[in-house]
């Protein structure tokens, strides 16, 4: 029968066009990545690749680093305490974390705002009431909200880890650092207002046996921030595997049906 004989040629041509279009697509983001001439070192994470998942222990350590170090300046306004159930905290632990924060509420019956202990449904408390206050407290620099930071930076978790470990006390010769700024190998422009946040071993006390080296803390918090930005990642990937498997089977069946149908017309001959 004909179909097999003509199929490869057609397939090839269609594939060629598809490949050409995809090449165009590949070129676009690739071009953007190169614009940051700084090479960001690759860090290995459990969620790397197409099928990776989060390491709950790492996420919890990362949350601890965020809570005890980053949260002094950086908000994570899109997250609520209840979301911490996803990283493996129990309901009681979530409630305890929430209650350790005073959240502004109100107005009460007297029309006044008041503070109360947090509830799981509350958003993470912001360290500053507004951007102006945040700038005022930080030499005019605004510490960005970290809720979706790994999606908002080229390099994602790798970049966060690199940035947190990329400080150098003495900048390379020829570079003068402005007052109140710090030299960082991986920050675009190399001058960052944030002082080195992870300074020494044991800055946080991990509950598990992991050693809290700056590198470890940077890695953990980068993992936590990735989860914060993409809490759906694991569900998404699992669902994706199932759906693509389903489609492959359905595709095979559909192709068989199509060939049967076309056999009646003497085959699907394409000139």
Partner 1 sequence: MASGLHESSFANPVVRWIDQRMPIFTMIQKEYGTFPTPRNFNYFWNFGALAMINLVIMIATGVFLAMNYAAHTSLAFESVERIMRDVNYGWLIRYVHMNGASMFFIVVYIHIWRGLYYGSYKAPRELLWMLGVVIFILMMATAFMGYVLPWGQMSFWGATVITNLFSAIPLVGDSIVTLLWGGFSVDNPTLNRFFSLHYLLPFVIVGVVFLHVAALHITGSNNPLGIDPKGPQDTVPFHPYYTAKDSVGMIVYFIVFAFLVFFVPNYLGHPDNYIPANPLSTPAHIVPEWYFLPFYAILRAVPNKLGGVLMMFGAIAILFVLPWLDRSPVRSMRFRPIAKWLMLLWSANFLVLMWAGGRPAEGTYVLIARLCTAYYFAYFLVILPLLSKVERPLPLPESISRAVLRGGGPLRGAAAAKPMEKA
Partner 2 sequence: MADTLAPSSSPSTGGAHGPEQGTKRDFLKLVTGSFAVIGVGAIAWPFIASMNPAKDVLALASTDVDLSHIAEGQAVTVMWRGKPVFVRHRTPQEIEQARSVEVSSLRDPEADAARVQKAPWLIVVGVCTHLGCVPLGQKPTDPRGDYGGWFCPCHGSEYDTSGRIRRGPAPLNLVVPEYAFTSDTQIRIG
**44 touches partner 2 by CB under 8 A:** no
Q: Per CB under 8 A, which region of 30-38, 41-49, 163-171, 239-247 contacts partner 2?
A: 239-247
- Cα separations (Å) of 67 from 61, 76, 124, 146? 10, 10, 10, 12
**12 touches partner 1 by CB under 8 A:** no
Please spell the DSSP secondary structure of 195-228, one letter per residue. Answer: PPS--STTSS--SSS----HHHHHHHHHHHHHHH
CA 118/CA 244 separation, integer angstroms: 42
Select from partner 1, partner 2, none the partner in contact with residue 182, using the beta carbon and a kind-dependent cut-off of 5 to 8 Å.
Answer: none
Q: Per CB under 8 A, which region of 37-45, 104-112, 150-158, 190-198 contacts partner 1?
A: 150-158
**139 touches partner 2 by CB under 8 A:** no
The number of residues that bind partner 2 (CB under 8 A) is 18
Please spell the DSSP secondary structure of 51-117, one letter per residue. Answer: T----HHHHHHHHHHHHHTGGGT---TT-BGGGGGGGT--HHHHHHHHHTSEEEE---TTS--EEEE
Taking the least distance from each CB to partner 1, the nearer of 28 and 208 is: 28
What CA dihedral angle connects 93, 95, 96 and 102, to 10 degrees? 150
The number of residues that bind partner 1 (CB under 8 A) is 57
Taking the least distance from each CB to partner 2, the nearer of 91 and 168 is: 91
Taking the least distance from each CB to partner 1, the nearer of 188 and 200 is: 188
In the list 61, 67, 74, 153, the residue contacting partner 1 (rule: CB under 8 A) is 153
Binding site for partner 2 (CB under 8 A): 80, 82, 109, 120-121, 243, 246-247, 249-250, 253-254, 256-257, 260-261, 264-265
């Amino acid at each position: 029968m004909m179909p097999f004989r003509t199929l490869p040629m057609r397939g090839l041509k269609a594939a060629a066009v598809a490949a050409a279009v995809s090449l165009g697509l590949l070129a676009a983001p690739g071009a953007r990545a190169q614009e940051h001439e700084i090479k960001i070192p690759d860090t290995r994470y459990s969620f790397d690749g197409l099928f990776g998942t989060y390491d709950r222990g790492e996420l919890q350590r990362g949350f601890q680093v965020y809570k005890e170090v980053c949260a002094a300046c950086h908000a994570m306004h899109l997250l609520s305490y209840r979301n911490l159930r996803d990283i493996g905290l129990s309901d009681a632990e979530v409630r305890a974390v929430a209650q350790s924060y005073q959240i502004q509420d109100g107005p009460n019956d007297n029309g006044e705002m008041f503070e109360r202990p947090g509830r799981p449904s509350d958003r993470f408390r912001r360290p500053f009431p507004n951007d102006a206050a945040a700038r005022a407290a930080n030499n005019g620099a605004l510490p960005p909200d970290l809720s979706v930071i790994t999606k908002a930076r080229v390099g994602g978790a790798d970049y966060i880890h690199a940035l947190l470990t990329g400080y150098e006390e003495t900048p390379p010769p020829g570079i003068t650092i402005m007052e109140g700024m710090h030299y960082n190998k991986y920050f675009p422009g190399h001058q960052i207002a944030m002082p080195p946040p992870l300074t020494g071993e044991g800055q946080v006390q991990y509950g598990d046996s992991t050693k809290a080296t700056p590198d470890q803390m940077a890695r953990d918090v980068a993992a936590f921030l990735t989860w914060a930005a993409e809490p759906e990642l694991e569900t998404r990937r699992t669902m994706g595997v199932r759906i693509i498997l389903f489609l492959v089977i359905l595709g095979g069946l559909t192709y068989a049906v199509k060939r049967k149908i076309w056999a009646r017309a003497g085959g699907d001959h394409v000139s």
